[in-house]
């Protein structure tokens, strides 16, 4: 964390530079966590075509007190969380084509060219 500067003064953990590991303090969205031991966090998961796990640590990132160094200790690990279709197309992009009346559509997919045939549907949608 000490080598992970905030992108701007309004940025809080999890920082982008710690990828692929993201973290939040337990009291980040549940301010009473220290008193009650109960809380909840909301995290956005992006399909990176891999399973996710969550871990709970105690001890903070860099709590230094006289004569003692508190380091993070693993308390619990969740079951794996998987996407229903990790190969599903994501990140659609539109770009100007070679001429004024063309458009280029691209996306990222986990399928190989022999696994699926890429296609785009367009047109008016009822309503």
DSSP character string of 12-48: -SSPGGGTT-----TTTT-TTHHHHS-----------
pTM comes to 0.55
pLDDT tier, 17 (very low <50, low <70, confident <90, very high otherwise): low
pLDDT tier, 69 (very low <50, low <70, confident <90, very high otherwise): low
pLDDT tier, 95 (very low <50, low <70, confident <90, very high otherwise): very high
Cα-based torsion angle of the residue sequence 10, 16, 17, 22 in order, rounded to the nearest 10 degrees: 110
Distance CA 88, CA 60 (A): 36
User: Checking phi first, is residue 15 left (phi over 0); if not, alpha (psi -120 to 50) or beta?
Assistant: beta
Distance CA 66, CA 8 (A): 31
Read off the pLDDT of each residue in 27-42 and give the average, rounded to a whole number: 76
């Amino acid at each position: 964390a000490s080598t992970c500067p905030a992108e701007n003064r309004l940025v809080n953990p999890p920082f982008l530079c710690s990828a692929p590991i993201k973290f939040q303090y337990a009291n980040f969205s549940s301010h009473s966590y220290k008193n009650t031991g109960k809380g909840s966090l909301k995290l956005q998961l992006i399909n990176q075509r891999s399973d996710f796990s969550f871990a709970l640590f105690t001890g903070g990132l860099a709590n230094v007190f006289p004569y003692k160094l508190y380091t993070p200790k693993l308390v619990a690990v969740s079951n794996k969380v998987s996407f229903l279709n990790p190969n599903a197309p994501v990140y659609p992009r539109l770009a100007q084509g070679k001429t004024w009346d063309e458009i280029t559509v691209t996306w990222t997919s986990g399928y190989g060219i022999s696994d699926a045939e890429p296609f785009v549907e367009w047109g008016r949608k009822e309503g």
